[in-house]
Amino acid sequence: MKKYLLNAPQQPYVKIIDSLFAEMVLDKAIREFRIEQIHKEIDQSLQNRNKDEFLQLTEELKQLSLN
């Protein structure tokens, strides 16, 4: 018969949750950094009148915004 303890340590679950939370925070920070970078690159492509670069960057920005 299995024993179920109310105060049993749950460290493996806590570590998994902490790892997932850390990964989510890092993913969000990276995404926000890349979005800021793309905005700057879009401004530069507009100044340089580089249509191809502008279209590529706006497409990348759309993809990031969907996720």
Whole-angstrom distance, CA of residue 34 vs CA of residue 22: 18
How many helices (H) and strands (E) are present in the chain, helices listed first? 2, 0
pLDDT tier at 66 (50, 70, 90 boundaries)? confident
**Per-residue confidence (pLDDT) for residue 12, from 0 to 100:** 76
Dihedral angle of Cα 18, 19, 21, 26, to the nearest 10 degrees: 140
Q: What is the pLDDT of residues 26-47, one digit of tens each?
A: 999 999 999 999 999 999 999 9
- Which residues fall within 8 angstroms of residue 36, CB to CB, at 6 or more apart? none
What does pTM read for this prediction?
A: 0.73
